């Protein structure tokens, strides 16, 4: 289908029919991925495809060879599924696949390296630095308020805000059950409003504002029923909306993303100087009932089956 987001599934000739929908896996985001994959498979069936759902295991190459698909719809989330690892497997197997390729996936998942790309592209991002989990747990490595997050996880897994007046970093960092990597990103906390923009190919869709009654927009707020409220389009000055759309598209292209992505922002309207900061780009946006990218597509008249069909027909190898 190319990269034009305003094309519809029914307006072009389909290249693919039998689609392996990858879901699950073994990252901390397994449960969300199971939901995304099931929803995508149902939508693809409605769009006239033959989806084959695969709960990805470490024998994924054999699973894919047994399924013998025309293309792979990658609905995996988190480590191994969206960090370039599984994308490399698709390339080795010469299977067309959706979303971003090896390099873009790896860059976007590594938050500090993505920041370096943003800086080079003139995209504002909060100041941050990589420290060991031990150092982050031992005392303040940055003046509060700041954010501590795993450098290579998604869905706000393991994210903590250290606020002014807090005596020490969160105790969870010292837990023996911590499995989110030994390096963490410590980043200046940006107050204000939570915004997000989905990008389909060459088009930024719209701006959504996210609010939550919880402490902040964490994993629970993202995926629990009633955990957050999505306002779209966000009630913003026209100039802020246009800048947010522009920055999302620039972030997508600067990382080399393909297909669907989603950029997350903080908007500090009370700040002097720069008010809009890009937090990260998600190369595998969620496709659950509460997910943001499908909401934005629907707002612009693109149904969920049409969105999944567009993602599928954008699939290729050597991405």
Residues annotated as catalytic are 29, 155, 223, 262, 264, 280, 282, 286
Q: What dihedral do alpha carbons 142, 197, 73, 70 form, nearest 10°?
A: -130
d(CA 70, CA 167): 55
Residue 243: other Cβ atoms inside 10 A: 18
Distance CA 63, CA 60 (A): 5
Cα-Cα-Cα-Cα torsion 294, 295, 297, 301, nearest 10 degrees, comes to: 130
244 with 274: CB under 8 angstroms? no
CA atoms within 13 A on the CB side of 5: 23
What does the alpha-carbon distance between residue 295 and residue 302 come to, in Å, rounded to a whole number? 9
Phi-psi region of 233 (alpha: psi -120 to 50; beta: other; left: phi over 0): beta
CB hemisphere CA count around 96 (13 angstroms): 15
Whether 204 contacts 248, CB under 8 Å:
yes
* Residue 17 structure tokens: 């029919």
Instruction: Point out which residues pair with 316 in neighbouring strands.
Output: 97
Do residues 149 and 280 touch, judged by C-beta distance below 8 A?
A: no
| 198/245 Cα distance (integer angstroms) | 9
């Amino acid at each position: 289908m190319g990269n034009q987001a305003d094309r519809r599934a029914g307006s072009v000739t389909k290249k693919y029919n039998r689609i392996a929908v990858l879901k699950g896996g073994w990252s901390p985001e397994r449960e969300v991925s199971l939901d995304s994959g099931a929803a995508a498979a149902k939508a693809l069936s409605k769009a006239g495809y033959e989806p084959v759902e695969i709960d990805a295991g470490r024998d994924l190459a054999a699973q894919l060879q047994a399924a013998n698909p025309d293309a792979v719809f990658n609905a995996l989330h988190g480590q191994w599924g969206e960090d370039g690892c599984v994308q490399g497997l698709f390339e080795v197997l010469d299977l067309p696949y959706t979303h971003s390729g090896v390099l873009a996936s790896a860059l976007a998942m590594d938050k500090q390296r993505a920041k370096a790309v943003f800086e080079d592209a003139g995209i504002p991002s909060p100041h941050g630095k990589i420290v060991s989990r031990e150092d982050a747990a031992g005392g303040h490595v940055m003046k509060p308020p700041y954010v501590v997050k795993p450098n290579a996880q998604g869905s706000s897994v393991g994210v903590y805000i250290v606020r002014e007046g807090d005596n020490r970093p969160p105790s969870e960092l010292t837990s023996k059950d911590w499995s989110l990597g030994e390096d963490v990103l410590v980043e200046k906390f940006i107050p204000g409003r939570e915004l997000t923009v989905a990008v389909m190919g060459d088009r930024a869709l719209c701006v959504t504002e996210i609010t939550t009654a919880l402490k902040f927009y964490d994993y629970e707020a993202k995926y629990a029923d009633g955990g957050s409220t999505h306002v779209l389009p966000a009630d913003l000055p026209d100039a802020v909306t246009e800048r947010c759309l522009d920055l999302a598209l620039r972030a997508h292209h600067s990382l080399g993303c393909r297909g669907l992505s989603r950029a997350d922002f903080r908007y500090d309207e009370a700040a002097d100087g720069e008010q809009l900061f890009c937090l990260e780009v998600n190369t595998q946006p969620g496709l659950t009932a509460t997910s943001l990218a499908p909401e934005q597509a629907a707002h612009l008249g693109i149904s969920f089956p049409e969105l999944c069909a567009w993602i599928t027909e954008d699939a290729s190898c050597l991405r």
